[in-house]
Amino acid sequence: MSLALKRDSRFRQGFFKPKNPQKCINTECIYRSGLELKFFIFCDNNPNVLQWGSENVIVPYFDTIQKKTRKYYVDNYVKIKEGNNIKKYLVEIKPYKQTQPPNESTRRKKSSVLYEKVQWFNNNDKWTHAKEFAKKNGMEFIILTEKELDQYK
């Protein structure tokens, strides 16, 4: 299952056509940012990646702000050969800034800081549940940012 592509001119978005479709779980892979596209290319081209998918793992989580259960579509699943071992990962792709607590500088608009705080708490709810889900299912949850993805140009 894949979520629909919502066009937003601020981000590089589109449908990815793998060169190695036998490795891709999805019938269509949607990238929602340039960072996700880099990861797709890495997965498609890397011979150690045995299988990968986009938004194909759904993790239920409790949203502590709105006090209700929601669904978290993890960005990617990847099964990769590391030495003599095969590891499975749930992978979230985020800009580094979004993986850090919001900066509460007095020069910033209060509405901007509030929005970032809500996003921060929401992401932490998702990530906490994703870590637990991954552990229960023999996987590891990781967050990749441009710092890690820029190594794979």
Tokens describing residue 98: 């979004």
Tokens describing residue 3: 């979520």
Residue 89 zone, left/alpha/beta (φ > 0; ψ -120 to 50; rest): beta
- Cα–Cα distance for residue pair 144/142, rounded to 1 Å: 6
Is residue 55 flagged as an active site residue? Answer: no
φ, ψ dihedrals at 59, nearest 5°: -115, 120
Is residue 36 flagged as an active site residue? Answer: yes
Q: Which of 23, 38, 79, 94 is catalytic?
A: 94
Q: Could you tell me if 77 and 56 are in contact, meaning their C-beta atoms sit under 8 angstroms apart?
A: yes
Q: Which of 23, 36, 116, 125 is catalytic?
A: 36
Count CB-CB contacts under 10 A for residue 6: 9
- Cα–Cα distance for residue pair 16/40, rounded to 1 Å: 8
Q: Could you tell me if 27 and 89 are in contact, meaning their C-beta atoms sit under 8 angstroms apart?
A: no
Is residue 126 flagged as an active site residue? Answer: no
Q: Which of 23, 38, 55, 75 is catalytic?
A: 75
Which residues form the catalytic set? 36, 75, 94
